[in-house]
Structure 1
C-alpha cells in the first residue's frame, strides 16, 4: 500500500487510510441494481456509476493494489446471474464478492422465492469456497413504491437469504432495514431503480456493514413540494407511457433490457477513489 500523508486529505479520509481493510480484489455480480442503472455518469465505465462503483472507489482509497470487476448486466434473471457470472467471478480469484439477484424474477407471475433461494444457496457456497468474503443483499421494503405488489414475496425471499447467510457465514447487506429508501428522492424517474442518492445511500450501508472506514457522508434528500391531484395524475401518465408500457411489451415479446449488453467491468482493474495516491496505477 502506498502511504498518504494525512495532512493532504480530510480528517475522515485520513481515518479511512489509517485503518485499511483486508480486501484487494472485489467482484460484483447481479442485474441492473449492481450495474448502476439510475445513477448515470458519463465519466464512469459503461455510463453508469451505481453503489458498487462507489463502494469500490472507497475500498481503493489509498491502496494502489486494489482492483475491481463488475459483471452485472441489466435485466438478468437469477438463474442467468448464476449461470453467466459465478464462473467468471471465480476465475478472477476475488477475496470480496457481492451478489444481488432475483428482483427481475419477482416481477414475473409465478415467481417462487423458496426455489429462488435454493439457487442462490448453491451460488453463495461456490462463491465463498475459496475463502472470499461474500456479501448478500436483501431486497428493499417496496411498501411505498410502484413495486408494492411484490412486497410479500420479497419478504419471504429475504428470510430465506438470512438463513443462507447464517449457513455460509455470509455478510448480509440489509436493504430491507434501510428505512431511508422509503424517501421518493432515493428512486429514479422510472420508479424501478435507485437514483444517484439512493445508490449513494446503499453504498454507505454496504461499507458500514463491512466495518470499513470511508469518506461518504449522509445525504438528506430535499423534501418534494406538495403535489396537486392533477400534477400527480399527469406524472403517472408520463411514467406509464415512458417506462411501464415498454417494460410490458418487452415481457410479452420475451425480451430483456439487457439483451446485447455486456458487463461494464469484466476484468478486475484499478479503480480510482477520492483519495488515491498521486500517480497510482501509472
Structure 2
C-alpha cells in the first residue's frame, strides 16, 4: 500500500483504479509524444514509481493481461518531430487506445505565440489519423506552475504564460477533435507548488504523475460507462 498516495485527496485509493477500469474495451495501447510520454519522472516516497503513461498501462493490463503496448515517446521532441517519427509506427501498431502528449517543447520557447496555430495543426495531424484508424485518442493539458524559478534565463519570464496558453489551446483543440481529454493545467494541486516538480524544476515528480494517472483513469472510466 502506498500510504502517501492513498491518503492524498487528489489520488486514487486502494483498489480504485481496478474498479474504475473494470470492463474496459482496449487491447492495444500506444503512447506518442515527448519526455512526458516517455515517462520522465522522479520518485517520491509513498507514491507509485511509474510515470502516468506506464501507470495507465499497468492498470489497463490488470483487466487485459494480454494488453499489447508500445511507448514511442522520446524526450526533447517538438510536435512536428513527434508527427514525423512516431505517427507511422503508431499506426502500424494498430492501437485501439492512444495517448498523445506533446507541444510543451514548442511552448516553452520564446515566440510560441506566433507558432501556436502551426502547433495546433500538427497536433490535429497526429490525432485525426489515429481516430480514423479506430483508436480512442487521449490528450492531456499538462500542469502549469505559476512560476518556474529553477528554469534557465533563456526561457524568459513569460514561460508560465506560454505554457498556460498551450494548455488552453490543447483543451480547445481536444473539444474540437473529440478526444478523451484531461485538463491538468489548472488542477487544484498546483497550489502545492514545488511538491509537484522534480529536481530540474520542470518535469513532474512521482506525486504529480500519481495525480495525472488518477485523473486519466477517472476520465477513462466515464468513457467506459458511456458518459
Q: Give the TM interval when normalised to the shorter protein.
A: 0.7 to 0.9
Structure 1 unaligned blocks of 5 or more: 1-9, 42-47, 214-282
Point out the more displaced range, 156-165 or 97-106.
156-165
Query: Equivalent residue of 2:140, what SS?
Result: strand
**Counterpart contact for 2:143–2:185, Cα < 8 Å:** yes
Q: Alpha-carbon deviation of 1:39?
A: 3.2
Q: Alpha-carbon deviation of 1:170?
A: 0.8
How far apart, CA to CA, are the structure 2 residues paired with 1:113 and 1:81? Answer: 16
Could you say which residue in structure 2 is the equivalent of 1:140? 143
Q: Alpha-carbon deviation of 1:89?
A: 0.7
How far apart, CA to CA, are the structure 2 residues paired with 1:25 and 1:193? Answer: 27
- Determine which of 15, 18, 42 is the counterpart of 2:19: 15
Q: Does 1 or 2 have the higher relative contact order (CA < 8 Å, sep 6+)?
A: 1
1:29 aligns with 2:32: yes
- Determine which of 205, 209, 212 is the counterpart of 2:215: 205
**Counterpart contact for 1:98–1:134, Cα < 8 Å:** yes
Q: Alpha-carbon deviation of 1:16?
A: 5.0
- Flag the structure with higher helix content: 2
Question: For 1:254-273, what per-residue CA distance to the aligned partner results, in whole angstroms no more than 9, with x for missing partners?
Answer: xxxxxxxxxxxxxxxxxxxx
Could you say which residue in structure 1 is the equivalent of 2:7? none
Cα-Cα RMSD:
2.5
Could you say which residue in structure 2 is the equivalent of 1:64? 65
**Counterpart contact for 2:38–2:75, Cα < 8 Å:** yes
How far apart, CA to CA, are the structure 1 residues paired with 2:40 and 2:167? Answer: 22
1:195 aligns with 2:195: no
- Determine which of 118, 126, 129 is the counterpart of 1:126: 129
| Structure 1 residues 52 and 212: CA distance shift in structure 2, 3 A | farther
Query: Equivalent residue of 1:57, what SS?
Result: helix
- Determine which of 175, 178, 186 is the counterpart of 2:187: 178
Question: For 1:14-45, what per-residue CA distance to the aligned partner results, in whole angstroms no more than 9, with x for missing partners?
Answer: 7357x31111111111111121212369xxxx
| Structure 1 residues 104 and 14: CA distance shift in structure 2, 3 A | closer
How far apart, CA to CA, are the structure 2 residues paired with 1:157 and 1:26? Answer: 25
1:168 aligns with 2:177: yes
| Structure 1 residues 182 and 190: CA distance shift in structure 2, 3 A | farther
**Counterpart contact for 1:25–1:96, Cα < 8 Å:** yes
Query: Equivalent residue of 2:221, what SS?
Result: coil
Tell which structure's C-alpha radius of gyration is larger: 1
Q: How many residues align?
A: 197
When the two structures are superposed, what TM-score results if normalisation uses the length of structure 2?
0.77
Structure 2 unaligned blocks of 5 or more: 1-13, 152-156
When the two structures are superposed, what TM-score results if normalisation uses the length of structure 1?
0.63
**Counterpart contact for 1:29–1:99, Cα < 8 Å:** yes
